[in-house]
Amino acid sequence: MAWFKREKKPIENPTPVDERRVRTEGLWIKCSSCRLTIWKKDLEANWEVCPKCEHHFRLDARRRLDLLLDDGRWIEHDADLASSNPLRFTDTKPYEKRLEDARNRLGMKDAIITAEGLLNGRSVICCSMEFGFIGGSMGAVVGEKAARAVERSVAQGQPLIIVSCSGGARMMEGVVSLMQLAKVAAALGRLDAARLPYISVLTDPTTGGVTASYAMLGDLNIAEPGALIGFAGPRVIEQTIRQKLPDGFQRAEFLLDHGFLDAVVPRRDLKPYIARSLDFFLQ
């Protein structure tokens, strides 16, 4: 017999470990700027802006339209346009699979919603890009929907607002996505000839081919605080010009200081700011 023996049975768990764990996961989020722990519901109610440091988190395409258009009511156009995978592209996964995953996850066919609604009582065309859909990248569908939205503005005599949130052109559609830059820019030329205002809102991030086309072609180009806005990434630029880039390079405030933007507008002021600008343009 052993010198020491546990005779009593160990204490039994009243419930299995998995069930005892309180579900807190996903209820809280840490601000990536000030490290404050925020209740997700509070963040949502504040349109995804940190209540302490005003850090602007990304807002999805639908909520963006809810923010800008009266009573969160809008009509969506061209919702059924979908990519035909023109290059039959495959990288680590087939492009078709990527599209399918994004569609199932987000319930939308591509990375932009083009909508029509009222902004402080004025009828407008408003487009909103979705970063969650393959990085908000611009392929044939995004380009076509944006171009049609511009044409609709011209045909119906409505001002245009495009909220960009995009990593740039969609690599999986190669040259077909590059063609969209010219197509949307040409449509914007017709909008200009019709003397209708276009307000471009650049949010975090707006880079690559989207910056190189319609995002920088607004009659007003305005951005949200802290938004990353650029064409090529900082590393590529540093290697090309062989110089260290200054702090805050490619952030909205830096671009404003250097004349690339007309204003940096906090999210809570965005709608009244756009409404005032349209009053000014259309008086």
- The site for Zn ion (CB under 5 A) is made up of 31, 33-34, 36, 50, 52-53, 55
At closest approach, how far in Å is the CB of 30 from Zn ion? 9
Dihedral Cα 222, 107, 174, 126, nearest 10 deg: -30
Q: How many CB atoms lie within 10 A of CB 241?
A: 9
Q: Which SS3 state, helix, strand or coil, does residue 9 take?
A: coil
Q: Which amino acid is at 185?
A: A
**121 to 111, 117, 124: CA distances (angstroms):** 27, 9, 9
At closest approach, how far in Å is the CB of 35 from Zn ion? 7
Which residues on neighbouring strands pair with residue 119, listed in sequence order? 122
> Is the preceding peptide bond at 51 cis, omega within 30 degrees of 0?
no
At closest approach, how far in Å is the CB of 36 from Zn ion? 5
Would you call 205 exposed, middle or buried from its count of C-beta atoms within 10 A (0-12, 13-18, 19+)? Answer: buried
Q: Taking the CA atoms of the chain, what radius of gyration do you get in angstroms?
A: 23
At closest approach, how far in Å is the CB of 58 from Zn ion? 14
Q: Which SS3 state, helix, strand or coil, does residue 201 take?
A: strand
Distance of CA 124 to the CA centre of its chain: 19
At closest approach, how far in Å is the CB of 130 from Zn ion? 24
Read off φ and ψ for residue 58, nearest 5 degrees: -70, 140
| Residue with Cβ nearer Zn ion (48 or 110) | 48
| Residue with Cβ nearer Zn ion (46 or 85) | 46
| Residue with Cβ nearer Zn ion (31 or 187) | 31
Would you call 63 exposed, middle or buried from its count of C-beta atoms within 10 A (0-12, 13-18, 19+)? Answer: middle
| Residue with Cβ nearer Zn ion (164 or 203) | 203
At closest approach, how far in Å is the CB of 39 from Zn ion? 13
At closest approach, how far in Å is the CB of 226 from Zn ion? 11
| Residue with Cβ nearer Zn ion (39 or 280) | 39
Q: How many CB atoms lie within 10 A of CB 3?
A: 4
| Residue with Cβ nearer Zn ion (34 or 236) | 34
| Residue with Cβ nearer Zn ion (34 or 186) | 34
